Amino acid sequence: MLPLFILVVFPTLLFAQAVKTQNSKNMKLKKVLIVVTSASIVPGNGKSTGIWLEEFAAPYYLFKEQGLDITVASPKGGQAPVDPKSMSPDYTTESVRRFLQDPDAQAALTHTIPLEQVKASDYDALYYPGGTGPVWDLPENTYSIRLIESSYNDGKPTALVCHAPAALKNVKDNNGQPLVKGKKIAGYSNSEEAAGQSSDMVPFSLETMLRNEGAIYVKGDDWHSFSVAEANLITGQNPASSLAVAQQVVDQLATSK
């Protein structure tokens, strides 16, 4: 007769492996839409802006490693701008270095699809990386607004990090109230904006806007990872939070049908 340990533990391990395999298969069927900015120049001062590359690259590779199908969209379609500052040595992370050596990943930002061609029903999750660019062209973009509303109302993971929660500015709930009202929302803080000397790169303070719209603004220590989920609405504070936000997207997808 086999020892009791083997009789109990071995079937348990087989079951755990079967669950892991099934989750992996399920994830490969899931589609994530990453929405990026088309804004490359800050109106008024002419400085370059765009996507903060770490906030795209780290989630992109996590999604890829999980077997998710990724589509990248932007307001204008085509080449999406990357903030050149985010590629400077002071901000070059492992994910950024990997991206800069990866033609396939670079092609994803070269050939984005226009937001007007996107159907929310085609995707299982929505992710917005930040940078100061999104503050200029996403808050008023009607396609983006409808996309977020549809994704959130359908219970799909809807995630935004750093400056990207600016895209929530005009998003409404089913009662016509600001979607962020009464919800815990993270985003780039006023203190980080001041310390980073980037106030001239944005048309409004993200933290102040969120508070004005009725959000319960929450934050961690400046420059440290901090994210929060209100059901399927996931937000992160800064570039360091992008991987944590993406992981929450993955975790929610893993438990969804």
Encode pLDDT of 9-58 as tens digits: 444 444 445 444 455 556 778 999 999 999 999 998 999 999 999 999 99
Residue 59 has pLDDT above 90, yes or no: yes
Averaged pLDDT, 101-118: 98
Would you say 42 and 67 are in contact if contact means Cβ atoms under 8 Å apart? Answer: no
Q: Give 150-154's long-range contacts (Cβ < 8 A, gap of 24+).
A: 150/120, 150/121, 151/120, 151/123, 151/125, 151/126, 152/179, 152/232, 152/233, 154/120, 154/121
Would you say 49 and 136 are in contact if contact means Cβ atoms under 8 Å apart? Answer: yes
pLDDT of residue 252: 98
Encode pLDDT of 191-207 as tens digits: 999 999 999 999 999 99
In the chain, pLDDT over 70 holds for what percent of residues? 89
Q: Which CATH class is domain 30-255?
A: alpha beta
pLDDT of residue 73: 98
Tell me the C-alpha distance between 186 and 210, whole Å: 9
pLDDT of residue 193: 97
Band the pLDDT of 257: cuts 50, 70, 90. confident
Higher pLDDT, 112 or 15: 112
Averaged pLDDT, 76-92: 97
Please say whether the dihedral angle defined by the alpha carbons of residues 108, 228, 240 and 256, taken in this order, is positive or negative: negative
Higher pLDDT, 4 or 229: 229
Q: What's the mean pLDDT when you consider all of the chain?
A: 92
Determine the 3-state secondary structure of 237 from DSSP: coil
Domain ranges of the chain: 30-255
Tokens representing 147 are 């996309």
pLDDT of residue 18: 44
Averaged pLDDT, 127-154: 98
Averaged pLDDT, 85-96: 96
